[in-house]
Chains A and B, each alone.
Chain A
Amino acid sequence: MSRSEVLRATGPTASASMDVKIGMKKDGTITAGQIFFRMQGGAFPGMSPIGEALPCAFACYDIPALKHEAVEVIANRPKAAAYRAPGSPMAAFAVESMVDEMCRELKLDPIEVRLKNGAKNGSKSSYGPIYTMIGLQETLEAAKAHPNYAIPLGPNQGRGVASGFWFNHGGETSVSLAVGEDGTATVMIGTPDIGGSRASIGLMVAETLGIPYEDVRVNVVETGALGVNEPTHGSRATFASGKAAVEAARQAIAEMCRRAAADWGIDADAVEWKDGAAHPAGPNAGKHPPMTIGEIGAKMGSTGGPISGHHEVTAGGYGASFGTHVVDVEVDPETGRTTVIRYLVVQDAGTAIHPAYVEGQYQGGAAQGIGWALNEEYVYGTDGRLQNPVFLDYRIPVASDLPMIDTVIIEVPNPGHPYGVRGVGETGITPPLPAIAAAIAGATGARIRSLPCTPPKVLAAIKALRG
């Protein structure tokens, strides 16, 4: 498809409008929340992410009384498609903007208010389940302590804070692992790598097998090469394929222990695996030198045949990832043009298996959210046709539009994963929308209630304020 066809035909996210009502005491205590959302996803029912938007709306808060209502609107528009954390950014724009507006009105620190009302371990989530182990409070504390939060602002500058949430996902997952004759391991996964999952899975398998990362090769294989796999969606790849890969490696380890046990003439139970080799489990197992994965692999043809591991599962145990963003902007009061001068992403990764890739996901989410907040927009003519199906006029941020996006990786391990992994891919697009609108409000006094915050819109709001 050409770029123009992609923009015309593959589906934008849904359009949305939201009403929010929040009860807050003068000390910042939130007593109740109510939302009414409308989402349009094209000509067919069920195409908008209204079902995700509602539970995301108050997911960051522990509020005693909540009411969620929504309708889906059908229109002759392109069908919506899944777009990073479907539904969550719009919900956050509504709720977090409202919270920010109340904080400014009551002159309360926006991080303190979120610490006070934010979801914690043991909180009942807004959509039902009890949160057992989450990291929202840790992201808020780290944002508060970060140097960016203390930098004095200049004229026409404003600071915005917002938190965000994504459920994450497990899903149907199948992974195979084969031990090579040279002691290396090849892992076959069915989740395409869209931001570091292969490297992360390779690291987890290497750790489990006790061999160097360089000795593990992770391949994304064709559909028919494995059992059923859901695609890479829901921030599930590193979590679910990683979890299954660890299980597959454990299966291969069990077999390698059996081969060593047979060679040594002892029970398989008396063999343990460490540092990439089978070892006698204790003195009673006899004195046998460790048998490495390379030695086992080299003779596997004559000791029982090829050694592999498999794991097929509908992966449970996924844990939500919360994030808090702090952004500073400068608004040109004569043109309404917003420049992002400083940006901080703090997010819980569970365990950051490959920190550089986790950071990349944080920065990518922020960049995509900044684009949504400031300039990205589908412009339709009166004939209903898309007028800007090229990147010249569908204005995603270019590199020079963005400052260095600072990151802090919080690690509150997910108990549902052998290495504590949470998905990190989607939460990051959620806070930028309300955080930037809040920063613009700080810089200008004008609250922008629809996105994107384009220069004409911001300038008109500034002028309306001057009267």
Chain B
Amino acid sequence: MNLGEILLHFLQSTGFAIFTWQQGLMILVSLVLLYLAIVKGFEPLLLIPIAFGMLLANLPGAGLMNPPEGDMPGGLLYYLYQGVKLGIYPPLIFLGVGAMTDFGPLIANPKSILLGAAAQLGIFVTFIGAILLGFTGPEAGSIGIIGGADGPTALYLTSKLAPHLLGPIAVAAYSYMALVPIIQPPIMKALTTKEEREVVMDQLRHVSKKERIIFPIMVTLVVSFILPSAATLVGMLMLGNLFRESLVVDRLSKTAQNELINIVTIFLGTTVGATASAENFLTWRTLSIIALGLVAFSIGTAGGVIFGKIMYKTSGGKVNPLIGSAGVSAVPMAARVSQRVGQEANPRNFLLMHAMGPNVAGVIGSAIAAGLLLNFFGG
């Protein structure tokens, strides 16, 4: 082998020689997402790993997502991706979310749990829409779950039902979650009267330590008996919550809500982004998924607000319908939106804690919805 051949061989193996336009476009998409995450502050904790994973997976010839061939080991991201594929990371994220979540407002006002149920309407209406657009059952279920506004749930279900759609669904779910403060208020205002928005709700009652401890155990038992397929997500969520509320395993609680969730987020985000290869992402289906995701969010919000109006009527004007929109998980952003819109109508109104009830109920609701879809289409 002479120097000329070595040089030629080297040049042929560089990224420039084997670069395709599709990869170029995907790198461009990842750069746009990085811009949105860093400059515009769109869910940066997840969007940065997702976007960079996308960038890494589309580097020509690098093969970070390649599976092992013969004696050749696979790429790094391929191995990390197994945690997504096998459904390990999302429940671990749920463990951390549980440790961070205060279910007190929900325990204090159990009726607000119904708003968390109503807001799941978006999932199923979008599911019908996706079926009409020609997606298969498992794909449609994964697209609909975007409306649950719950990242880990969406990724968990998609990894089980339609792993080839993970990239577009992750991008749609997290982008819309970042856009909650823009998407929700117009829908909330359109569906409510000023009088309804001005309702000041009674202060929540005190929740005892016993109730806080019994709650996660009870929810795990009830939900898992009704729907065993939801046990993974709900069980981990509630284990995290028990760490928090028992007050005797502070170290575990802190680890779950800091180190563990951060480590898993890095792995999850990067590898989910890495599934967005050019052939998976650059199709008309991605555009329809992004459009359907918006529909899912909007209908979920509307479902919650409309049910809120029903509760306003039945309670004799004691419930502010604005807290209904918080039923679409997206904790705590959706509850903050309820607070903001409520305060615009009446500056003395503090809906935040009232909205946290439906908000955390939405997490349980979307986990149940995911369990149902898994029941119908899994395996």
Are A and B co-members of a single complex? no
